[in-house]
Structure 1
Amino acid sequence: MQTMHAMNDLRRIDLNLLVILDALLSEQHVTRAAERLHLSQPAVSHALARLRDLLGDPLLVRQGGGLVPTARAQELATPLADALAQVQSLLAPNRFDPTSAKRTFRLAMSDYGAALLLPGLVRRLREFAPGIDLQIIHASREGMVDGVLSGELDLAAGVFPDLPGELRSTPLFEEHYACLVDRASLPEGGVLDLPTYLARPHVLLEMRGSGTPEIERALTAIRERRHVAISLPHWGIAPQLIEGTDLILTVSSQGLLNIDTQRLLVVPPPFHIASFGFVLAWHKRRGGDGALQWLIEQVEGVLAKRVG
């Protein structure tokens, strides 16, 4: 009897409404959700009205210039994303054909990760999977993890020392730190010693909720501190601040491979900083998504070729 009731309930529900609800909860904006789904804004607004009536809850309420999910909507977000992922996996063809596939993936990474990954990945996609589109999201480590957990993100590339149990990951490469200095600012021989490192000002790359705790932990271990003269969230501009100054930039070594070595010098830190793994993370519920698994393989291939 319960099964019959459940079947009758399902017949009353247009499953497309759940896809629209998932997009609305992710975007928290009717227009952006409509663009993501390739629907008109009135169609999404009408669907939201039907969802409110069906679930007996406002789901999204206006606040400022956007929509904020209600407590009920927040409760629904994760199980809804899980359910849609399972349905997609169930209905997906056994074999993924990249040459004919039409799909948009949302990837999170820093501009450091983007510089390493995107040029090679985009070339692969244009050659082998021209129907695959990418949306790149810039977020802190915590923001990336939260996005993958909620289903808003498909993949996150970065440094994640403690991933939640719901997430899966694959190591892309092992990374270590290096220091970038103006060549003329060091004595002949180009050796950066610890007294010089501590005496000079530093550039810190830091996003809100992120930063480089590995460096600070290493300094704390030797009971030392550094003076940060400039803190900024953008990787790309940081090396340009070093030339002609006494500043020191301590960063992941892979980001310094294309530095102009006529004026700038890459040297080892004068104290031990633990190496770390750069990984690609996704939700375990996406294990049956052949398209996503194919994309993961492409990312692995790009970085294996570059870093190997």
Structure 2
Amino acid sequence: MQEMNNIAASDLNLLLVLEALLEERHVSRAALRLNRSQPAVSHALARLRDIFNDPLLVRGSDGMQPTARALQLAEPLLEALALVRSMVEQPLFGICQTERLFRVSLSDYGAAILLPALVSRLRQSAPLVDLTIVSYGRERALAALTDGELDLAVGVYPTLKQASHRDLNSTLLFEESFACLVDAKSTSVPLDLAAYLSRPHVQVSVALQDSSEIDTALLRLGHKRRIAVQIPHWSTAPDLVRGTDLILTTARRSIEHLSGHGLLCLEVPFALPSFPFVQTWHRRRDRDAAHHWLRGQIEGLVRQAA
């Protein structure tokens, strides 16, 4: 296309801006991805509109949308950038020399089962890689990935398949199931549904608006439990159960090792499906070699633990 030749003759960086804008459909997020200022990306968009004599991106009900002309450009743009990258990208990636800060959202539970092994691996293989760990609610974590605030989120995200999260990729780490933790002196074995509903419960939830698969399943059966204590940190929940009539229903891996010493890990007395524990990221990170390496380390550590 003649317009592509005009860009090649003037500024190849405009191709990168066009790629980011078509994928992000948002000037601020494109700027974040390119590590440029928003005014610089807006100026580049104005130049692209002049070159192609087309608005390329227009505001719609769901943010900025590509025009027919922009969609026509997408495939040749992809081919052109793939050729350029194949010529200039380094053939080898050395993590041991990589300086990087990764911002990761992990729940209390996820940190307990993953973080010690991951930090140990990083200190051995990637001593210049640093981690900042936050514990965001589910929807906040997904929004932070989209906005570029986070690099990776690891946990349970039931809404990942919704259209609003179409730009997020994910991989399954393992399937998890629920179990109940109770004080050994306060209950009979096995625990039945009537006893389960008659007792107060502890709920671990970072955000008030995070949905609970447990309460959704009970609602389908026409029941509702009483949440006597809601806390944001899993680590304190078992101590709240000990010596009380409270029940904690949570991920099995986090409590099965506590059975004994005055506590019991019991089966949930109604049907609860297993749930996927995943790592998820924005597709802008797909070609990031260091990010790909980190995801691979997490997958490997989970398989090793299993």
Q: Does residue 120 in structure 1 map to residue 117 in structure 2? A: yes
Residue-by-residue CA offset, 1:70-120 (whole Å, 9 max, x unaligned): xxxxx99xxxxxxxxx99x95753322122211111111211111111011
1:279-290 equivalences under 5 Å are 279-290=278-289
SS of structure 2 residue aligned to 1:145: helix
SS of structure 2 residue aligned to 1:184: coil
1:172 matched residue in structure 2: 173
SS of structure 1 residue aligned to 2:185: helix
1:226 matched residue in structure 2: 225
Give the 3 Å change call, closer, same or farther, for CA 127–251 of structure 1 in structure 2.
Answer: same
SS of structure 2 residue aligned to 1:157: strand
Residue-by-residue CA offset, 1:152-172 (whole Å, 9 max, x unaligned): 211111112232221111000
Q: Is the 8 A contact 1:177 1:275 kept in 2?
A: yes
SS of structure 2 residue aligned to 1:185: coil
Unaligned runs of 5+ in 2: 18-26, 44-62, 65-80
The one of 131, 134, 144 equivalent to 2:131 is 134
SS of structure 1 residue aligned to 2:304: helix
SS of structure 1 residue aligned to 2:157: coil
Shift of 1:124: 0.6
Q: Does residue 185 in structure 1 map to residue 182 in structure 2? A: no
2:238 matched residue in structure 1: 239
Shift of 1:262: 1.4
Distance (whole Å) between structure 2 residues aligned to residue 195 and residue 285 of structure 1: 49
Q: Is the 8 A contact 1:205 1:211 kept in 2?
A: no
1:196 matched residue in structure 2: 195
Q: Is the 8 A contact 1:202 1:249 kept in 2?
A: yes
Distance (whole Å) between structure 2 residues aligned to residue 169 and residue 10 of structure 1: 31
Q: Is the 8 A contact 1:205 1:212 kept in 2?
A: no
Q: Is the 8 A contact 1:96 1:290 kept in 2?
A: yes
Q: Is the 8 A contact 2:180 2:265 kept in 1?
A: yes
Could you tell me the TM-score, scaled by structure 1's length? 0.71
SS of structure 1 residue aligned to 2:95: coil
1:59 matched residue in structure 2: none
Q: Is the 8 A contact 1:142 1:209 kept in 2?
A: no
Instruction: Note the aligned Cα RMSD (angstroms).
Output: 3.2
SS of structure 1 residue aligned to 2:96: coil
Residue type of the alignment partner of 1:255: S
Q: Matched residue pairs, number?
A: 250
Distance (whole Å) between structure 2 residues aligned to residue 123 and residue 219 of structure 1: 40
1:146 matched residue in structure 2: 143
Distance (whole Å) between structure 2 residues aligned to residue 53 and residue 121 of structure 1: 38
Could you tell me the TM-score, scaled by structure 2's length? 0.71
Q: Is the 8 A contact 2:256 2:265 kept in 1?
A: no
Give the 3 Å change call, closer, same or farther, for CA 240–274 of structure 1 in structure 2.
Answer: same
1:269-280 equivalences under 5 Å are 269-280=268-279
Residue type of the alignment partner of 1:292: H
Identity across the alignment (%): 40
Q: Is the 8 A contact 2:139 2:210 kept in 1?
A: no
Q: Is the 8 A contact 1:121 1:298 kept in 2?
A: yes
Give the 3 Å change call, closer, same or farther, for CA 257–126 of structure 1 in structure 2.
Answer: farther
Residue type of the alignment partner of 2:103: R
Q: Does residue 105 in structure 1 map to residue 106 in structure 2? A: no
Q: Is the 8 A contact 1:201 1:248 kept in 2?
A: yes
Shift of 1:194: 1.0
Give the 3 Å change call, closer, same or farther, for CA 5–221 of structure 1 in structure 2.
Answer: closer
1:93 matched residue in structure 2: 90
Unaligned runs of 5+ in 1: 16-20, 27-36, 38-46, 57-74, 77-85
